[in-house]
Amino acid sequence: MRMFKPLFLALSIAIVIPTQSTAVEIPATFQVQGAGYGHGVGMSQIGARAKALAGETATAILNYYYKDIVIQPLDDTKILRVNVGHLLTSAKMASGTQDATMQIFSGDIGDAQDVVPLAVVPIKSSLNFSIVGSTVQPNVVTGKKTVSISRDRIFTVRWSGTRYLPGVDGVISLTHNSITKKYRYGQMQFKAVKTATLGYRLEITNSVRLADEYLWGVSEVPSSWPEAALQAQAIASRTFAMSKAGVYRASCDCDLYGEISDQSFLGYAKETEKGWGQLWKAAVTNTAGLTLTQAGKPIAAYFSSSSGGLTETAGNAWGSQRSYTQSVPDLASLDPAINPRFFQWDRTITQASVAAAFALPDVVNLEIVMKNTSGTVATIKATSSAGIQKSLRGETFRSRTNIPSAYFNLVGVQNAVEPTPSPSP
């Protein structure tokens, strides 16, 4: 409880001490300590690895982390649009295979086979894309020669050796933001999409078959992990993608992102990883079609790297309960031998990052108001120098400040440690 001095003393102090000496100090940083990595909802990947090392099967692992589910085969041959380039101004595409060819088409041509290409890209050439106003500008670059193709809102690119274009098996490289990834399957779309604040930006999607072309490229756990852990991940990844398939997102021109906001999609490099890639590919193949379901439909099979010792529910993390998520012991996440990077961690968060998280001009004080029974922060409150207070969910704060998890405490601050009961599913 705050104590107040008599009014006459407060007035005399206000007169004697200069205004600047009573200014509230704005901390440059805030210190936090925690455990685990990710939102903690659903399957713990570190926990799955530990269970596989102990001899448990993929089925046993999945039934432990997901509540009241049925593992059954479903048709997973549908085509996914996977975003592999988001909010870009430019990108470069080139063939990395001798004698493989590329073709570029106007528009989104889907599965059409009778479409005439705008250009056949010569061997040892690249396609360079950039945003010009509200359109995409493609250029074919061969050595020092550049040939421009008429601008449009969207283009499709195909390469040989895919189900869309016969010929030499081609592997193409896609470069943007100084990062290059390789892709083997499907086709790609390059589209100008209007954003709320940035104007038009380039969105790139890879259209691939979920059952194999997509799952072979998912890179969520090391391929060197035990077989049961790989199979559990393959089933969870298939299920998550099935739950997203067909739900089109205009902002990314996609069904799902190829990043950890959905699932990490590495592309061809995952299955060709020296010594290990075929193990992941085998895990996908050996669990063909197997999906986590409730009432015959795929669940949103959330998973994360590790927890703070208990997994989290979707209701606590995001405010939207899912009956198949539950809080269960996950002690492997706190084992330094199996989770050396995140069994515990310390982070420094800048003033700018914290202020931006709460949409305040500055933050002079942070307070953990409530915790969930899982150990995650339920509510964290910030106070600005002007006395404005705002609160966030712990998971929202984690996401906006880029700290490893919501299983954390503030250093040097009195934290609320009494957990609040989790809501019933």
Mean pLDDT, rounded, of the chain: 92
Tell me the average pLDDT across 126-134. 97
Whether residue 5 is predicted with pLDDT greater than 50 in this model: the reply is no
Pairing of strands 365-372, 419-420: parallel
For the stretch 298-338, pLDDT in tens is 999 999 999 999 999 999 999 999 999 999 999 999 999 99
Q: What is the 3-state secondary structure (H, E, C) of the chain?
A: CCCCCCHHHHHHHHHHCCHHHHCCCCCCEEEEEECCCECCECEEHHHHHHHHHCCCCHHHHHHHHECCCEEEECCCCCEEEEEEEEEECEEEEEECCCCCCEEEEECCCCCCCCCCCCEEECCCCEEEEEEECCEEEEEEEECCEEEECCCECEEEEEECCCCCCCCCCCCEEEEECCEEEEECCCEEEEEEEECCCCCEEEEEEEEEEHHHHHHHHECCCCCCCCHHHHHHHHHHHHHHHHHHCCCCECCCCECEECCCCCCCECCHHHHCCCCCHHHHHHHHHHCCCEEEEECCEECCCCEECCCCCECECHHHHHCCCCCCECCCECHHHHCCCCCCCCCCEEEEEEHHHHHHHHCCCCCCEEEEEEEECCCCEEEEEEECCCCCEEEEEHHHHHHHHCCCECCEEECCCCCCCCEECCCCC
Query: pLDDT band at 8, cuts 50/70/90?
Result: very low
pLDDT at 418: 56
pLDDT class for 4, splitting at 50, 70, 90?
very low
- φ and ψ at residue 20, rounded to 5 degrees: -65, -25
Look at residue 415 in the predicted model and tell me its pLDDT.
59
Condensed to tens digits (0 to 9), the pLDDT of residues 80-115 reads: 999 999 999 999 999 988 889 999 999 999 999 999
Q: Of 22-26, 135-139, 157-161, which gets the smallest average pLDDT?
A: 22-26
Tokens describing residue 317: 């993390």
With 0-12 CB in 10 A as exposed, 13-18 as middle and 19+ as buried, what is 82?
Answer: buried
Band (pLDDT 50/70/90 cuts) for residue 412 is: confident
The number of beta carbons lying within 10 Å of the beta carbon of residue 3 is: 4
Q: What torsion do the CA atoms of 372, 344, 326, 47 make, to the nearest 10 degrees?
A: -170
In tens, the pLDDT along 153-185 reads 999 999 999 999 999 999 999 999 999 999 999
What's the pLDDT score for residue 18? 42
How much of the chain, in percent, has pLDDT values that exceed 90? 88
Assess contact for 242 and 54: CB atoms under 8 A: no
Q: What percent of the chain has pLDDT over 70?
A: 92
Task: Look at 97 and 6; give whichever has higher pLDDT.
Answer: 97
CB 324 within 8 A of CB 239: no
Measuring CA to CA, how many Å separate 180 from each of 2, 33, 127, 203, 290? 57, 35, 14, 16, 32
Confidence bin at 22 (pLDDT 50/70/90): low
- Residue 282 pLDDT: 97
Strand 256-257 and strand 79-88: the pairing is: parallel
CA-to-CA distance for 292 and 289, rounded, in angstroms?
A: 10
Closest among 404, 375, 369 to 316, alpha carbons compared: 375
d(CA 350, CA 240): 34
Q: Which residue has tokens 């393959």?
A: 234
Q: Summarize pLDDT for 206-225 with one digit per residue, the tens.
A: 999 999 999 999 999 999 99
pTM: 0.90
Question: Kind of pairing, strands 126-132 and 290-294?
Answer: unpaired
Structure confidence at residue 417 (pLDDT):
55
Q: Is the pLDDT of residue 21 over 70?
A: no
Q: What is the pLDDT of residues 327-378, one digit of tens each?
A: 999 999 999 999 999 999 999 999 999 999 999 999 999 999 999 999 999 9
**Per-residue confidence (pLDDT) for residue 124, from 0 to 100:** 87
Predicted pLDDT of residue 24: 80
Query: Does the structure show a pLDDT above 50 at 118?
Result: yes
Confidence of residue 421 (pLDDT cuts 50, 70, 90): low
